[in-house]
């Protein structure tokens, strides 16, 4: 059985959502962030040397990195669901979103989180960080104009992979000026599989 090594308030929540959409049985092994540092506990290093989440174990393998996990689960357990047909333009776009989510979009949002902890010392960096966030969110917002989902006419793994970007943008106060992102987040958060994943995963600060 698939085991999801689930850290609270983390990217692993979208892995639970994906598994609920696929209807694949899975087990959750829970880990709690340090209340002061917000870092993952050292127990995660027993699963993988980096000690990061998400991590899944399946069929004797340990798989890290959100995009790789989404791709693996859909290829191995999706039965053709939640991804476009290979060798189509939609599939090329789908792959780009899988990589873009963590390769580019999350960087300024994470910088905002860490720099905000510096207080006045971080103030000179904020204009550039906010500019980069607005640039990325503007791109995503434009991509969602006139459509419900990022690729094609139905939910795909691209939406699940990118969901954390939309949710964190909201919890960091950066979503108000991007109505298409706001509507997209509300749309996927209303899905029954998403709600089941929240119930199984536990409290999730970004589900708003």
d(CA 10, CA 23): 21
Residue 208 domain-assigned? no
Q: Mark 146-160 as b/e (b = at least 16 C-beta within 10 Å).
A: eeebbbbeebbbbbb
Residue 207 domain-assigned? no
The CATH number assigned to the domain holding 53 equals 3.40.30.10
Q: Mark whether 69 and 162 lie in a shared domain.
A: no
Nearest to 183 by CA among 141, 153, 134: 141
Residue 172 domain-assigned? yes
Q: Mark whether 64 and 33 lie in a shared domain.
A: yes
Q: Mark whether 170 and 197 lie in a shared domain.
A: no
Report how many domains make up the chain.
2
pLDDT at 37: 75
The per-residue pLDDT for range 73-106, each reduced to its tens digit, is: 999 999 999 999 999 999 999 999 999 999 999 9
Residue 150 domain-assigned? yes
Residue 139 domain-assigned? yes
Q: Mark whether 151 and 168 lie in a shared domain.
A: yes
- As a whole number, the mean pLDDT across the chain is 93
> What is the pTM assigned to this prediction?
0.94
Q: Mark whether 96 and 187 lie in a shared domain.
A: yes
Q: Mark whether 48 and 105 lie in a shared domain.
A: no
Average pLDDT estimate for 153-164: 97
Q: Mark whether 108 and 165 lie in a shared domain.
A: yes
The per-residue pLDDT for range 33-67, each reduced to its tens digit, is: 877 777 788 888 888 888 888 999 999 999 999 99
Q: Mark whether 74 and 129 lie in a shared domain.
A: no
Residue ranges making up the domain that contains 153: 89-191
Q: Mark whether 163 and 107 lie in a shared domain.
A: yes
Q: Mark whether 73 and 112 lie in a shared domain.
A: no
Give the bridge partners for 27, in sequence order.
3
Q: Mark whether 18 and 102 lie in a shared domain.
A: no
Q: Mark whether 112 and 48 lie in a shared domain.
A: no
Residue 36 domain-assigned? yes
d(CA 166, CA 180): 10
For Cα atoms 171, 49, 15, give the angle at the middle one, nearest 5 degrees: 40
The CATH number assigned to the domain holding 140 equals 1.20.1050.10
């Amino acid at each position: 059985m698939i085991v999801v090594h689930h850290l609270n308030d983390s990217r692993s929540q979208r892995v639970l959502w994906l598994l609920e959409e696929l209807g694949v049985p899975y087990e959750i092994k829970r880990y709690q962030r340090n209340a002061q540092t917000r870092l993952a506990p050292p127990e995660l290093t027993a699963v993988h040397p980096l000690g990061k989440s998400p991590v899944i174990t399946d069929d004797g393998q340990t798989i890290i990195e959100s995009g790789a996990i989404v791709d693996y689960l859909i290829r191995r357990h999706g039965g053709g669901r939640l991804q476009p047909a290979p060798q189509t333009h939609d599939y090329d776009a789908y792959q780009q979103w899988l990589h873009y989510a963590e390769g580019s979009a999350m960087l300024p949002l994470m910088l905002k989180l860490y720099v905000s902890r510096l207080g006045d010392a971080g103030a000179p960096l904020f204009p550039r960080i906010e500019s980069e966030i607005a640039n990325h969110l503007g791109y995503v917002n434009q991509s969602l104009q006139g459509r419900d989902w990022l690729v094609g006419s139905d939910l795909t793994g691209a939406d699940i992979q990118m969901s954390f970007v939309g949710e964190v943008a909201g919890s960091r106060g950066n979503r108000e000026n991007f109505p298409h992102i706001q509507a997209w987040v509300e749309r996927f958060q209303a899905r029954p599989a998403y709600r089941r994943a929240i119930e199984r995963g536990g409290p999730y600060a970004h589900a708003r």
